[in-house]
Structure 1
Amino acid sequence: MRKHRTIEQWQVLVDQQIGSSLSAMQFCKQEHIGYASFCNWRKRLSDPSTDDSTGSGEPGFLDLSSLMGTSQSSGPGWNIVLSLGNGVELRLSQNG
């Protein structure tokens, strides 16, 4: 049975491993933790550039209201292309 841990719980485990005299693999075996999961979380917790807004799977939002323009003369002529990877694109258009 898999146990789902919080970020705080993973941080405690990483800190415990660092404070122990065990290698990561030995620690994981002793604590019945998946070694790959432990290494993944250790990397995520030690790398400040890896946060929830960059690729963690959590949804993010981008306010596109600034693209709408404020003057009547500019009109609603927006065109948005989202590149989803693997050659897949989502195109949104509004031309008057």
Structure 2
Amino acid sequence: MRKHRTLEQWQALVDQQRASDLTAPQFCKKEKIGYASFCNWRKRPSADQSTDNSTGSDEASFLDLSSLMGNSPSSVPGWHIVLSLGNGVELRLSQNG
């Protein structure tokens, strides 16, 4: 049966391996952890690291796009936004007048 671990449990395992004198494969064998799963979790940022969130909190941050609309109601909005999601995936948002 497969054991499901929480983010905190995986982070603790990653921290234990880094603090040990064991290589990742040795640690996984000793702890009976799948090496591929361990490597996937090891790649993730730790819970105490801030990724792209400048506030450092776990809450989502939002960007107010109303400033892109211009100062006057008669201005023609013409924005183009590209969100890079990683692994070559991009989300493109465009608006024409």
TM-score bracket for the superposition, by shorter chain length: 0.5 to 0.7
Which residue identity does 1:26 align to in structure 2?
Q
Residue of structure 1 equivalent to 2:67? 66
TM-score by length of 1: 0.54
For the residue of structure 1 that corresponds to 2:44, the secondary structure is helix
Residue of structure 2 equivalent to 1:32? 32
* Cα distance in structure 1, aligned partners of 2:83 and 2:16: 42
Q: How many residues align?
A: 87
TM-score by length of 2: 0.54
Give the conservation status (yes or no) of the 8 Å contact 1:25–1:35.
yes
Percent of residue pairs bearing the same amino acid type: 57
CA change 1:12–1:91 in 2 (3 A) is closer
For the residue of structure 1 that corresponds to 2:5, the secondary structure is coil
Q: Note the C-alpha offset of 1:2.
A: 4.3
Residue of structure 2 equivalent to 1:51? 51
* Cα distance in structure 2, aligned partners of 1:49 and 1:71: 41
Unaligned runs of 5+ in 1: 54-58
Unaligned runs of 5+ in 2: 54-59
Which of the residues 76, 92, 95 maps onto 2:94?
A: 92
